[in-house]
Amino acid sequence: MKIGVLISGRGSNMVSIATACAAPDFPAEVAVVVADTPAAAGLEKAAAMGVATAVVAPGEFADRGAFEDALANTLAGHGAEGVCLAGFMRILTGRFLDRFPGKVLNIHPSLLPAFPGLDVQQKALDHGVRFSGCTVHFVTEAMDAGPIIVQAAVPVLEADDADALAARILEQEHSVYPEAVRLFAEGRLRVVGRRVIVDTK
Quote the CA–CA distance of 7 and 87 in Å, as a whole number: 5
Q: Is 23 helix (H, G, I), strand (E, B) or coil?
A: coil
pTM attached to this predicted model: 0.96
Q: Which domains does the chain have, with CATH numbers?
A: 1-101 (3.40.50.170), 109-133+149-201 (3.40.50.170)
Side chain identity at 8, as an amino acid letter?
S
Cβ–Cβ under 8 Å, residues 72 and 96: yes
* Average pLDDT of the residues of the chain: 97
SS (H, E, C) 117-172: CCCHHHHHHHHCCCEEEEEEEECCCCCCCCCEEEEEEEECCCCCCHHHHHHHHHHH
Catalytic residue among 78, 108, 127, 174: 108
Q: What DSSP state is assigned to residue 5?
A: E
Please say if 108 is a catalytic residue: yes
Which pLDDT does position 201 carry in this prediction?
Answer: 76
Q: Convert the pLDDT of each residue in 107-153 to its tens digit.
A: 999 999 999 999 999 999 999 999 999 999 999 999 999 999 999 99
Phi-psi region of 136 (alpha: psi -120 to 50; beta: other; left: phi over 0): beta
